[in-house]
Amino acid sequence: GYNNKVAVIANGIEVDDIMIKSTWTKKYKILFLSRVHVKKGIELLIEASARIKEQLKDYQIIIAGEGQEDYVQELRDKTTKMGVNTLFDFCGGVYGEDKWNLYRSADLFVLPTFAENFGLVIAEAMACGTPVLTTKGTPWKELEELKCGWWIDINVESLVLALEHFLQLSESSLKIMGTTGRKLVEEKYASEKMAQRMMDLYKII
């Protein structure tokens, strides 16, 4: 008794209210911003960073988000054990304009998640003009297709390769990726687009 009147409509982004970064001059910052939970793959990021810590020695890897205190401590301990504690900054939850400033100040946004049904933070980062690195645990194949980021297998090796690629990019290349990501959000994920798709769905029901 089912019919084909089905549509997949993503979350909308109030993209007009989000200011894109004004410069892609490297700030030597890599950002993770999400809930601090085991499924988000932060441990993969720590392990990958340990493999290329000499290449990352000038960088700060910011872990922004709230999580259970004991798990956050486990992650801190892991960075110490792997010799990368000086690279990582666990800054806790960040909200409001501070959150948007973090997105804009980062050279790269990383979400090495094991599973995500959409990943709103990915769209938010792209709206700010920041290239994104995420996994095939998300539905963001467009990052790879449009060359505005990396969409990788869920393992340390793939993360290392993507980070190494990012480190080789010029500021002009990062700008092209960032502006391409912003354009994608404007054209496909803006809240007005989502509202129109919802109206179109109701018209055929």
Domain membership of residue 5 (yes or no) is: no
Give 33's strand partners. Answer: 64
Average pLDDT over residues 1-18: 71
Burial (CB count <10 Å: 0-12, 13-18, 19+), residue 125: buried
Domain membership of residue 183 (yes or no) is: yes
Domain membership of residue 8 (yes or no) is: no
Asked whether residue 47 carries a pLDDT value surpassing 60, the answer given is yes
For the ranges 170-174, 179-183, 185-189, the lowest mean pLDDT is seen at 185-189
Domain membership of residue 94 (yes or no) is: yes
Angstrom distance (rounded) from CA 156 to CA 41: 10
Res. 151 pLDDT band, cuts 50 70 90: very high
Domain hosting 178: range is: 15-204
Res. 15 pLDDT band, cuts 50 70 90: confident
Higher pLDDT residue, 105 or 118?
Answer: 105
Q: Would you say 154 and 136 are in contact if contact means Cβ atoms under 8 Å apart? A: yes
Whole-number pLDDT of residue 200 = 61
Q: CA 38 → CA 3, 115, 193, 203, distances in Å?
A: 38, 11, 33, 41
CATH number at residue 153: 3.40.50.2000
Asked whether residue 45 carries a pLDDT value surpassing 60, the answer given is yes
